[in-house]
A and B are shown apart, each in its own frame.
Chain A
């Protein structure tokens, strides 16, 4: 009974810590993005709220929390109110399977630094990512607005298209690691991170992840110069904030997935494992921001061509080649 209670307390502490970490990280990722993007565009970025604008995320949170929460006329009220929660909730749930570091030893007990080490952890992350589409599709539909509907239709089409290449690109990784568990995948990269073994899978995964998080150059669902803000046109206040939060948490989660799958997770010399993971997540995030500051938005037909005619066949080819090589080389 005592171990059960101790386990429960450890779980709650872990959940609270990870939630707090994610919220703060997402808020400051926004700051990093605004600063870095500004420098790419020869601007300063936020520099008024606090030193270097460091208090800007807090100011934004206060602003969004105190703004009026408007539900437009003719909207499907229940779904309209629920949709942002779906986006943010699935994004948070995805992080549950990302391992943050080596097992800790506390009071003689071993505490794994991951919320749950599912033996289908990777697939769980994908399942949550595919459920996130509902927040976007339903939020846009429930808004009773043309822009929002168009944005959500685009979002739904884009996300199911890119989920395929996203899923297929990691099949070789699973083959090499022999497990869907993220902890096992990290352990399998003891010698060489998988980015050197599977560079093609890495490229496909990163491109698809950018499409899944709906970031420039794949931000068609919210293309602000065609659709105002796409699926969240009608949202205001903290409901819009939840969409925003969901987007940045998803960015962090995909950063975490790239780090775990290709960059060796929390492995690294000298520094503690958790710091290494944060550095790797930040690297991926900064790369995504760099892409945002450089590339223009792709056209709708180009988006579909890239997804279906380039990434998907390449990912399939990668799976076949890896499988064949695995068969040949296995004793």
Chain B
């Protein structure tokens, strides 16, 4: 008999709880009228950022394309005549395929490819989801305002010689074994 009483009490508590819910304000956020602030690192639309000097960060190394689990990134590499900087001749992301995993951002050595919290893009035609370089390239540094790849590495572009980059020590003189 005690069991029955326990069961009735338990069920009754449940009913009371749901009944009380009727008089509480719903916790739903009504989306189109109220848009929640997304965290800075939320992963949605992908952009190609520039370095602080205004140059393209992307060096068309294809690491993002290689790491992409759904193979939605493709590009062609090119080299600039005047300073030998590598860049992407064309850069294409098929957002209809993209799963917003963020692996490309992790793989990128130059912080060029970044995911932004901008999640609101829906389209009528699936082909409109194929974004070209001019759609992707933006005029800011994204989440990494300081970083400029060419100030840390590379000598061809003439930004700095051996041992002259930021955080780089003088090259070891391999002809001398003296400590």
Chain A residues close to B by CB (< 8 Å): 38-44, 290, 293-295
Interface stretch among B18-26, B79-87, B168-176?
B18-26
Residues of chain A within 8 A of B17, CB atoms compared: 294
Complex CA–CA separation, A294 to B15 (angstroms): 6
Contact with A along B12-34 (1 / 0, CB 8 A): 00110111011011111010000
Residues of chain A within 8 A of B27, CB atoms compared: 42-43
Complex CA–CA separation, A38 to B30 (angstroms): 14
- B11 interface hit (Cβ, 8 Å): yes
Q: Total interface residues on B, using CB and 8 Å?
A: 14
Contacting A at CB under 8 A, from B1-53, are 11, 14-15, 17-19, 21-22, 24-28, 30
What is the minimal beta-carbon distance from B7 to any residue of chain A, in angstroms? Answer: 11
Residues of chain A within 8 A of B24, CB atoms compared: 42
15 contacts between A and B (CB under 8 A): A39-B21, A40-B18, A40-B21, A42-B21, A42-B24, A42-B25, A42-B26, A42-B28, A43-B26, A43-B28, A44-B30, A290-B18, A290-B19, A294-B18, A295-B11
* Residue of A whose beta carbon sits closest to that of B24: A42
Question: Is the pair A38, B18 in contact by a Cβ cutoff of 8 Å?
Answer: no
Complex CA–CA separation, A278 to B123 (angstroms): 45
Residues of chain A within 8 A of B18, CB atoms compared: 40, 290, 293-294
Question: Is the pair A40, B30 in contact by a Cβ cutoff of 8 Å?
Answer: no
Residues of chain B within 8 A of A38, CB atoms compared: 26
What is the minimal beta-carbon distance from A72 to any residue of chain B, in angstroms? Answer: 27
Complex CA–CA separation, A168 to B25 (angstroms): 43
Complex CA–CA separation, A43 to B11 (angstroms): 22
Residues of chain A within 8 A of B19, CB atoms compared: 290
Residues of chain B within 8 A of A42, CB atoms compared: 21, 24-28
Given contacts A42-B27, A43-B26, A44-B28, contact A295 B14 (CB under 8 A): yes
* Residue of A whose beta carbon sits closest to that of B25: A42
* Residue of A whose beta carbon sits closest to that of B14: A294
Residues of chain A within 8 A of B25, CB atoms compared: 42
Given contacts A43-B28, A44-B28, 19 further A-B contacts (CB under 8 A): A38-B26, A39-B22, A40-B18, A40-B22, A41-B21, A42-B21, A42-B24, A42-B26, A42-B27, A42-B28, A43-B26, A43-B27, A290-B15, A290-B19, A294-B11, A294-B14, A294-B17, A295-B11, A295-B14
Complex CA–CA separation, A290 to B18 (angstroms): 8
Residues of chain B within 8 A of A41, CB atoms compared: 21
Given contacts A293-B18, A294-B18, contact A39 B26 (CB under 8 A): yes
What is the minimal beta-carbon distance from A179 to any residue of chain B, in angstroms? Answer: 34
Complex CA–CA separation, A148 to B103 (angstroms): 39
Complex CA–CA separation, A112 to B17 (angstroms): 44
* Residue of A whose beta carbon sits closest to that of B16: A294
Complex CA–CA separation, A290 to B22 (angstroms): 10
Question: Is the pair B15, A44 in contact by a Cβ cutoff of 8 Å?
Answer: no
Complex CA–CA separation, A293 to B11 (angstroms): 12
Complex CA–CA separation, A37 to B93 (angstroms): 42
Complex CA–CA separation, A40 to B24 (angstroms): 9
Query: Most chain-A CB neighbours within 10 Å: which of B11, B25, B28?
Result: B28
Complex CA–CA separation, A295 to B30 (angstroms): 27
* Residue of B whose beta carbon sits closest to that of A41: B21
What is the minimal beta-carbon distance from B26 to any residue of chain A, in angstroms? Answer: 5
Question: Which 10 residue pairs across A and B have the least CB separation, nearest first?
Answer: A294-B18, A294-B14, A40-B18, A42-B27, A42-B26, A44-B28, A293-B18, A44-B26, A43-B28, A294-B15
What is the minimal beta-carbon distance from A173 to any residue of chain B, in angstroms? Answer: 24
Complex CA–CA separation, A295 to B14 (angstroms): 7
Complex CA–CA separation, A40 to B27 (angstroms): 11
Complex CA–CA separation, A117 to B143 (angstroms): 76
Query: Most chain-A CB neighbours within 10 Å: which of B11, B26, B27?
Result: B26
Complex CA–CA separation, A39 to B27 (angstroms): 10
What is the minimal beta-carbon distance from B118 to any residue of chain A, in angstroms? Answer: 24
Residues of chain A within 8 A of B14, CB atoms compared: 294-295
Complex CA–CA separation, A233 to B159 (angstroms): 64
Complex CA–CA separation, A294 to B26 (angstroms): 17
Complex CA–CA separation, A125 to B27 (angstroms): 42
Residues of chain A within 8 A of B30, CB atoms compared: 44
What is the minimal beta-carbon distance from B22 to any residue of chain A, in angstroms? Answer: 5
